[in-house]
Structure 1
Amino acid sequence: LLNQKVAHNFSIFLKSFPTKPNQMKDKLLIIHEEKGGLTDEHIASLRRYIPTPGDIDMYKSFKGSPSELHLVDQYMLEMCKIPYLNNRLDLLLKIREFPGNMHDLQPLIKQQIKACTQLSDSKNFISVLEYLLAIGNYLNENAGKQKAKGFRLSSLTKLLQLCGKERQFTLLYALVEQILLHEPELAKFSQELTEFEAVAGASIKGLNAEVEGVSNIRLEHITQYKKNLKSNRSTQELQFSKDLKAVIQKYEADLSQLTQQCGEMKKIYSDILIKFGEPQDQDSQELFGWVSSFIKDFKKVYAQIM
């Protein structure tokens, strides 16, 4: 009965699908794979073969015995009998994905908080910046320019480009030289900024958007599923609702903790932007990249001098 091309692809999938047609509905009422539910791969594959409205009308009009049908049609016939199949499959996938999303996001958020804390607390880094400002103002004064009150952190990436008559004598070289001459212990300021040894792989704005996305998508699918619940539910459906409630309560607690950490991350980064005179819309990945590049360049020049 089914379209030949769709039927061919579906039959290939069914060769590795262990569930019988008459077991489909009950299998979709089991949330966890370890308790007998379908695998993530099977759920994702079934979504590709959701019956169309035309398929549903066609199979509803079939009056014979299911055993008379081809195996592919037997499965499609059962799938057409499952109300809101697409929503149910989506819900199961989102529930399965949530722990993985949490597992991926938590260490990234913690890493950003640690990086922000190091940058906020590093007194030696501030002292290095003060040396750089003093050298810059010395040069400005000799050039007849006004003294600067500060500078953008993006300037840290340009110190190797500013050089004197000797190409090797860059502004960064002068900075390292002055620090070694007056306060050599400051040359090890990077020990307070270990999280900046590599450029950040995620931005705070991006992580915040992902946390909000995890919350919104999960709530959207659960709300949609609850709207479709019938009042006269079977024993299996009642158990599914009970298991779903337990899962939601656990994930709500996990999500609350993640949201709290995300708020902490945003707050401390905002404080950093204020402290260094950067605009509030400054991307953290870019800013952390400037600091990371500066540390790398500073160490390189330090090694040359020593």
Structure 2
Amino acid sequence: AVERMDARLLTADQVQALRAYLPTDDEASALSSFQGDKSTLGDPELYFLRMMAIPMLGPRLDAFHFLLTFEQRVRALRASTAAVAGACGRVLGSRSLRAVLATVLEVGNALNAGTFAGNARAFRLASLLKLEEIKQKDGKGNLLQ
């Protein structure tokens, strides 16, 4: 089943477990140089030898795992994309947000009256982060309070 990458016999979790239990480079090197009687080896060593006999097993298992989980990943991405698209639609359609942004623009123009920036038609969204820095005359609060 491992050599054929048979999706009827292996689940994504099983493939991931197989990938996690491949021999390390040191283990593979030690087993490759073993000249003794293989019948004296334990089950873990025999398992490693069988896995090492399959060419490019690590990358093949990675590709097979990707194949087995692809549809699930696509469904998750579609759900996330739908959530983001829905949020964008709500933001773009929000009258309240438009009113807040218009007020911020008016306040900015009033504060910058008589300067180059005093008659702006728009502002960068990053400027919203600076609203907290605009202090009241007495210094006890800011524009957001």
Q: TM-score range by the shorter chain?
A: 0.5 to 0.7
Relative to structure 1, the CA distance from residue 78 to residue 162 in structure 2 (aligned partners, 3 Å threshold; closer, same or farther) is: closer
- Is there any run of 5+ residues in structure 2 with no aligned partner, and where? none
Q: Secondary structure at the match of 1:171?
A: coil
Q: Residue deviations 1:95-133, cap 9 Å, x none?
A: 234345335433332222122222222233223222222
For CA contacts below 8 A with separation 6 or more, give which structure has more relative contact order: 1
Q: Secondary structure at the match of 1:160?
A: helix
Give the whole-Å Cα distance in 2 for the aligned partners of 1:169 and 1:79: 68
Q: Residue deviations 1:37-92, cap 9 Å, x none?
A: 26144312233447747744x46x77x6x5x2312443233334323333332222
- The equivalent residue for 1:82 is 54
Give the whole-Å Cα distance in 1 for the aligned partners of 2:123 and 2:63: 50
Give the whole-Å Cα distance in 2 for the aligned partners of 1:169 and 1:75: 69
Q: Does 1:96 pair with 2:71?
A: no
Give the whole-Å Cα distance in 2 for the aligned partners of 1:53 and 1:84: 15
Relative to structure 1, the CA distance from residue 89 to residue 132 in structure 2 (aligned partners, 3 Å threshold; closer, same or farther) is: closer
Aligned residues: 139
**Aligned 8 A contact 1:28 1:37 in 2:** no
**Aligned 8 A contact 1:28 1:88 in 2:** no
Q: Secondary structure at the match of 1:159?
A: helix
- The equivalent residue for 2:6 is 31
**Aligned 8 A contact 2:19 2:58 in 1:** no
- The equivalent residue for 2:122 is 150
Question: What TM-score, normalized to structure 1?
Answer: 0.37
Indicate which of 74, 78, 92 corresponds to 1:120.
92
Give the whole-Å Cα distance in 2 for the aligned partners of 1:110 and 1:90: 28
- The equivalent residue for 2:110 is 138
Shift of 1:155: 1.9
Give the whole-Å Cα distance in 1 for the aligned partners of 2:61 and 2:141: 65
**Aligned 8 A contact 1:162 1:170 in 2:** yes
Shift of 1:30: 4.4
- Is there any run of 5+ residues in structure 1 with no aligned partner, and where? 1-25, 173-300, 302-306
Q: Which amino acid aligns with 2:4?
A: L
Question: What TM-score, normalized to structure 2?
Answer: 0.66
